[in-house]
Amino acid sequence: MPPVPYAGTRSRLGWAMTGSGHFFEESLEEIRRLPDVDLFVSKAAAEVIRMYKSRLPEGMRIYRDTTAAAAPVGLFYEAVYHTLVIAPATSNTVAKLVYGISDTLVTNVFAQAGKCRVPIIVFACDTAPELETKAPGGIVKVWPRRIDLENVELLKGFEDTAVVESMAGLVAAIDARMRCRGTSSS
């Protein structure tokens, strides 16, 4: 087995992206601003990024959802990450997180971060009864269902998990984690 890079250092930020058009581009911008990020990309996120004609950041370690056992989760056992961010988080992934389902790369990194007591920040996108979101063709209105809103509320009750509902909230939560570690993010 090759050695795990950065094992034991808790020096890196793990960032998981799901297939949400809502705040996808803005999340990518924030990732580019930050030092020492490893990216975990759901299958849907890899498709959505192409639909928006966007690109993943270069020069970054990117883990894709290609194995059933979500092999990269081993990095969480090796104390590589100080924080896990999931942004943007689809209603699909939020539902799985809330019910303890770990059958994708992103739901697995959430579960393993939780079990390894790595602080987690989730940017849930379906947070209001009525939202404007960016589809590939432009802005559209959507009405998240009661189950979507309830799941976000349930996720707020999880240990070591901060749920944010806006880009400003996401940036503030990440900055707070960076300050806590004595690392500047700007």
Ligand X SMILES: Cc1cc2nc3c(=O)[nH]c(=O)nc-3n(C[C@H](O)[C@H](O)[C@H](O)COP(=O)(O)O)c2cc1C
Q: What are phi and psi of 108, to 5 degrees?
A: -70, -40
91: tokens are 């209603």
How far, CA to CA in Å, does 178 sit from each of 65, 116, 171, 174, 185? 27, 19, 10, 6, 6
111: contact with ligand X by CB under 6 A:
no
Residue 21 contacts ligand X per CB under 6 A: yes
Position of minimal CB gap to ligand X: 19
What is the dihedral sign for C-alpha 20, 62, 46, 51? positive
Question: Is position 20 an interface residue for ligand X (rule: CB under 6 A)?
Answer: yes
Pick between residue 4 and residue 51 the one whose CB is nearest to ligand X: 51
Size of the site for ligand X (CB under 6 A): 21
Binding mask 80-109 for ligand X (x = CB under 6 A): ----------xxxx----------x-x---
Which C-beta is closer to ligand X: that of 35 or that of 136?
Answer: 136
Per-residue 3-state assignment (H helix, E strand, C coil) for 31-58? HHHCCCEEEEECHHHHHHHHHCCCCCCC
Residues in contact with ligand X by the rule CB under 6 A: 18-22, 42, 44-45, 48, 51, 90-93, 104, 106, 125-126, 133, 135-136
